[in-house]
A = this chain, B = another copy of it.
Amino acid sequence: MTVSLKDVAQKAGVSVATASRALADHPRISEATKQRVRQAAAELGYMPSAIARSLVKQETRTLGVVTTTVTDPYAAELVRAVEDAAGAAGYTLLLLTSHNLPRREVAAIRALQERRVDGIIVISPRGVEHYPDILAHVTVPLVLVNHTLDHPRVRSVMADNRQGARLAVEYLVDLGYRRVAFIGGPTTSRSARERLHGYTEALRAMELPLDSRLMFPGQGRAEDGRRALLAMLDITPPPDAVLCYNDLTAYGILAQAWALGVRVPDDLAVIGFDNIPFSELTAPPLTTVAQPTEAMGHTAVALLLRWRRGEAVDTVHFDCTLVERATA
């Protein structure tokens, strides 16, 4: 059914070896036969089998990406950056999602290894504690975005979440806010833990009391923001500002505030985290902490590719910046 190199060779009247070399533009093939082979290939609509090539070359020119879900705008942004960088280098992406389940994450890594990808990028890992087991068998290099793991076959690309959270709290306090609340993220997320850390650290550094009633749990969903705002209103005195685990949570606050008539930032200042594209479209536009997502995605790919070339590579850290808009 599908035309193979053999067919091309036959049509051009040469051996498969020659046909292969001709199409690869091998130097020691006469221009004449090259022409003939190319012609034959074109006429037959020949499309080389990457599968067969991978088997002999022992490389697939494919990178595996595992992420929680592409519907998370932050993850999507990262996937986009990774796709761009990979594509530019001639690599294609095999995409698997974990839906936040450690088990699925590990299964994904395994599946990718079976497909012999040249490297794996895990965006916001959720199950690193299981990695040591699987890494005993997985032999491809792994790059973790937003997590670290001490293992010879693992490197990381990190945003400094602690510094980012500190930045936000300091900004709020400088603005005069004194009762700064925090809405956390999933406990399985390293970023969430670090942001919480940055929050408490900043408060301490600025000699402000740490009030546990001002710290709300969350899963990074808008729903968590809505709920937290409701809970905040029951506290006396209520917080005058809130740092959210992510922008989505901040949207929840904004939506609920709008519904309740709570004025932002007059009654309550809010700062998000991630600076996803919609954050400049909220009413009011969201002040938030940004990560250099694009650079992080590019770096993840670059790390993997340099690593494969045998170069020594090391984990990379990026600073966060504050994007001042209208909610604080």
Contact = CB atoms under 8 A, between A and B. Distances in A.
Interface in A41-96: 45, 47-52, 54-55, 60, 62, 69-71, 73, 76-77, 79-80, 83, 87, 92-96
A40 to B, nearest CB: 14
A312 interface: no
B71 A76 contact: yes
A205 interface: no
Contact of A94 (B2, B49, B93, B110): B93
Interface residues of A, number: 53
A55 to B, nearest CB: 5
Contacts of A76: 70-71, 73, 76
Contact of A116 (B51, B83, B92, B97): B51
A318 interface: no
B47 A51 contact: no
A28 interface: no
B114 A49 contact: yes
Contact of A114 (B50, B73, B95, B282): B50
A273 interface: no
A49 to B, nearest CB: 6
A95 B83 contact: yes
B283 A258 contact: yes
A73 B277 CA distance: 11
